[in-house]
Structure 1
Amino acid sequence: MAPTLAHFDYQRVPVADGVSLHAAVAGTGSPVVLLHGFPQTHLMWRHVAADLATDHTVICPDLRGYGASDKPAEGDGTAYSKRTMAADIVTLARALGHDRFALAGHDRGALVAFRAALDHPSAVTHLACLDVLPTLDMWEVMQGTSAAVGFHLYLMAQPPGLPEQLISASADAFFGHFLDAWTSDPRAIPSDVRAAYLDACRAAVPSIVADYRASAGIDVKHDQADRDAGQQLGMPVAVLQQDWGSALGFDAAALWRAWAPDLRHISVTYGHFMAEEAPADIAKALRDLLAR
């Protein structure tokens, strides 16, 4: 049996026509929604969620296309735009009784959280983004040989067909590569959780590719439109990320500050899967954000 979040109740919540999200919910108090990254599921928050649930209502969904949530067809490309995925999360929170909530996301989940905060500023009280740049900025800094680290971004940006075929043929090797390469502490992802991640990804190749493909297309258009319009995040924002800037030649804090005037930017020494490697530190950072 796949692992679950201990002492959390699981619900299946309709959020759009034909799409329901699988979500774990626990605790009482002001609501916090935690969004997972790639190649993971809501399980990545298991330690942080347990900590926060002592005095907050914590909601941990699988994003559409991931885990046990529904995986609609890609269609015209809008099904996996971050705008659509963000609307899922706002609808989910409202269905659970929360018109306003704090939002934290890691990796892909951080991109969804970022878009939710831009599109639904009256709903998102606080925003935390872990180890990511906004989509538009990410593509702008990825250049030259340094872009090799993001080979998967370019692979999954290709038209439908080839990426899905290549990844499906070696799904465990492909997704396992990131679980191995992006952690500084392999013990942070125990064997049962790793197996659950691989099982979930193996069953979701088309939707995962569609999510990434959207980030090379429609998501860039949405970010550019907001940048051109001078849109910014009005809520308190915390960003925790590895110091990519010194390695790749950009100022990550400056890129984020252009979007978020009320920003606390923290460079960390953990690996990419920081909520699993250093959960106490991440929980504290989220609590510090919520106190602002």
Structure 2
Amino acid sequence: MTTAEARGVRTTDWTLDRGYAGPSGEIRWAALGPEDAPPVVLVHGTPFSSYVWRGPARALAAEHRVYVWDLPGYGASEMRPGQDVTLDAQARALAGLIDHWGLTGPAAPAVVAHDFGGCVALRAHLLHGAAYSRLALVDPVALAPWGSPTYRLLAEHADVFRRLPDDLHEALVHRYISSASHPGLHPDTHARLVAPWLTEAGKDAFYRQIEQNVPHVGTDDIQGRYGELALPVLVCWGAEDTWIPVGRGHELAALIPGAELRIIGGAGHLVQEDAPAELTAALGRFLRTGR
């Protein structure tokens, strides 16, 4: 039985079948598409997992070698007490994975990153030497202060919320994850995203990753460097995002030389779930042409 199965997560439709021993714990990952196709790395955010990328990943794999992974402390990857799950630790994990996959020099990948993953990808590139051919940021954490009102409340009182009875913790996670979608998540998708956080280890991990990432740490030391980004950049944003309002997308795109901004109507923060066809079309075009 895999770790994910032990947590009650169905793995028949999305399996991360490989492992990498990163500095913050074992990372589960998978690769889709032809081995000799142009590489693309997908990075998820919080409180999600690579599962949110399943639709775009499968579609993009027709023309690309697509790498997906669960960040340490998330999904099927290792969760343990004392784990370093800060945004900088995740950025170092991404840089290590890219090196592990051999995606360096002329083989540098395109990177597509959502939510926390946006900050992770930006830090890996600007601070840890990870080279990309191009970068797409989807409703990213990039400008301080960040975080929804709920996230900020949890960050300020993580130790209190960690002591919630299990049934109240479960209700909180259900409500929190559901608020990321504008039209609402399919029940199976919702259950899949909630499940990793409902075990004893998952409950602790849920509050740990919030406690270690208060809404300014992780962006303060890179926000002034976005003008240094010298590669094609696409910024996608859900028009109905209530976690990070679309105005932040306009601000971010203005800070990055030559960045293109694409607003996706009818989508909330989880654009991959709310408008997968529109997002995949925009990403596919950008990966082929840089626009």
Which of the five TM-score ranges fits, normalised by the shorter chain? 0.7 to 0.9
1:234 & 1:137 partners in 2: Cα distance?
25
Partner Cα distance (2:61, 2:153) in 1:
38
Say whether residues 1:212 and 2:219 are aligned partners: no
% identical aligned pairs = 23
Q: Partner letter of residue 53 of structure 1?
A: A
Matched, 1:265 2:261: yes
Aligned partners of 2:113 and 2:136 also within 8 Å: yes
Residue identity in the other structure for 1:73: P
Displacement, 1:249?
8.8
Q: Which residue does 2:48 correspond to in 1? A: 40
Distance (Å, rounded) in 2 between the aligned partners of 1:163 and 1:9: 30
| Residue in structure 2 matched with residue 13 of structure 1 by the alignment | 20
**C-alpha distance in 1 between matches for 2:205 and 2:250:** 32
> Residue 254 of structure 1: CA displacement?
4.5
> For residue 271 of structure 1, what is the amino acid of its counterpart?
G
SS of the residue corresponding to residue 228 of structure 2 reads coil
Structure 1: which 4+ aligned runs deviate by more than 6 Å?
Answer: 244-250
Tell me what 2:99 maps to.
Answer: 94
Matched, 1:54 2:62: yes
How many angstroms apart in 1 are the aligned matches of 2:43 and 2:243?
A: 27
Report SS of the residue matched to 2:208: helix
The aligned counterpart of 2:183 is: 185
Distance 1:7 1:81 in 2: 26
Give the one of 94, 115, 127 matched to 1:107: 115
1:64 alignment counterpart = 72
Q: Specify every segment of 5 or more residues in structure 1 that has no aligned partner in the other structure, as ranges.
A: 140-149
Cross-structure match for 2:198: 202
Choose which of 229, 238, 241 in structure 1 pairs with 2:237.
241
Partner Cα separation in structure 2 for residue 250 and residue 278 of structure 1: 15
Query: Hey, what's the Cα distance between the residues in 1 that align with 2:52 and 2:263?
Result: 20
Say whether the 8 Å CA contact 2:43–2:114 is kept in structure 1: yes
Task: Spell out the pairing of 1:107-256 with structure 2 (5 A cutoff).
Answer: 107-120=115-128, 122-138=130-146, 150-158=148-156, 161-166=159-164, 168-186=166-184, 189-203=185-199, 204-216=202-214, 220-227=216-223, 232-243=228-239, 251-256=247-252
Q: 1:258 to 1:9 in 2, by over 3 A?
A: same
Structure 2 gap segments, 5+ residues each:
none
**Separation (CA, whole Å) in 2 of partners of 1:55 and 1:250:** 30
Instruction: Tell me, yes or no, if the aligned pair for 1:275 and 1:282 is still in contact at 8 Å.
Output: yes
SS in 1 for 2:113: strand
Quote how far apart the aligned CAs of 1:43 are: 1.1
Instruction: Normalising by structure 2, report the TM-score.
Output: 0.81
Q: 1:277 to 1:154 in 2, by over 3 A?
A: closer
